[in-house]
Chain A
Amino acid sequence: MLFVKDAPKQSLVVRRARVLDPVQGVDAVLDIRVDDGVIAALGERVEANGHRIVSGEGLLLAPAFVDPHVHLRTPGREDEETIATGTAAAAAGGFCAILAMPNTDPVVDSAAVLGALVDQARAEAVVAVGFLAAISRGQAGAELTEMAELADAGAAGFSDDGRPVVAPALMRRALQYSAITDRPLAPHCEEPTLSRDGQMHEGAVAAELGFAGYPSVAESLMVERDLALAAYEDRPIHLLHLSARESVNALDRAQADGVRATGEVTPHHLCLTDEAVRSLDPNLKMNPPLRSADDRAALLDGLRGGTISCVATDHAPHARHEKDVPFEAAPFGVTGLETAFAALNTHLVEPGLLPLPTLIERMTSGPARAYGLEPPRIAVGAPANLVLVDTRAGWRVTEAGFRSRSQNSWLLGAELTGRVLMTVADGRIAFER
Chain B
Amino acid sequence: MRGDVVPPDRPERRHLISIADLSREDVERLLSTAASFARSLDREVKKLPTLRGRTVVTLFYESSTRTSSSFELAAKRLSADTMSIKSTGSSVDKGESLKDTAITLGAYDPDVIVIRHPQIGAPQLVASVTDAHVVNAGDGKHQHPTQALLDLYAIREELGGIEGLHVAIVGDVLHSRVARSNIQALTLMGAHVTLVGPPPLLPRGIEAMGCETSSDIDSITDADVVYVLRMQRERMEEGANYVPSLREYTARWGVTPARLRPGQKVMHPGPMNRGVEIDPVVADAADALIETQVRAGLVVRMAVLYDLLTRGPVGVDVAAAVEVA
Contact = CB atoms under 8 A, between A and B. Distances in A.
Interface of A: 196, 199, 202-213, 215, 280, 282, 321, 324-329
Given A324-B99, A325-B97, A207 B121 contact: no
A325 B99 contact: yes
Interface string B103-137: 00000000000000101111011000000000000
B140 A328 contact: yes
Contacts, number: 71
A327 B208 CA distance: 22
A324 B209 CA distance: 29
Please report whether the interface of chain B is mostly helix, strand, loop or mixed according to DSSP: mixed
B120 A204 contact: no
A280 B120 contact: yes
Nearest to B99: A324
Contacts of B6: none
B15 to A, nearest CB: 13
A280 B119 CA distance: 11
B206 A210 contact: no
A208 B209 CA distance: 7
Contacts of A211: 120, 141-142
Contact of A326 (B125, B177, B208, B209): B125
B11 interface: no
B125 A209 contact: no
Nearest to A328: B119
Interface of B: 97-99, 117, 119-122, 124-125, 139-143, 177, 180, 203-209, 240
17 contacts: A204-B206, A204-B207, A204-B208, A205-B205, A208-B180, A209-B120, A209-B142, A210-B143, A210-B177, A211-B120, A211-B142, A213-B203, A325-B119, A326-B98, A326-B117, A327-B121, A328-B119
Contacts of B122: 326
B97 A321 contact: yes
A30 B163 CA distance: 70
A327 B119 contact: yes
Contact of A203 (B98, B119, B204): B204
B203 A325 contact: no
A215 B204 CA distance: 10
A207 B142 contact: no
B4 to A, nearest CB: 9
Contacts of B208: 204, 207-208
Contacts of B119: 325-329
Contacts of A328: 119-121, 140
A203 B204 CA distance: 6
Given A210-B180, A325-B97, A328-B121, A202 B204 contact: yes
B73 to A, nearest CB: 28
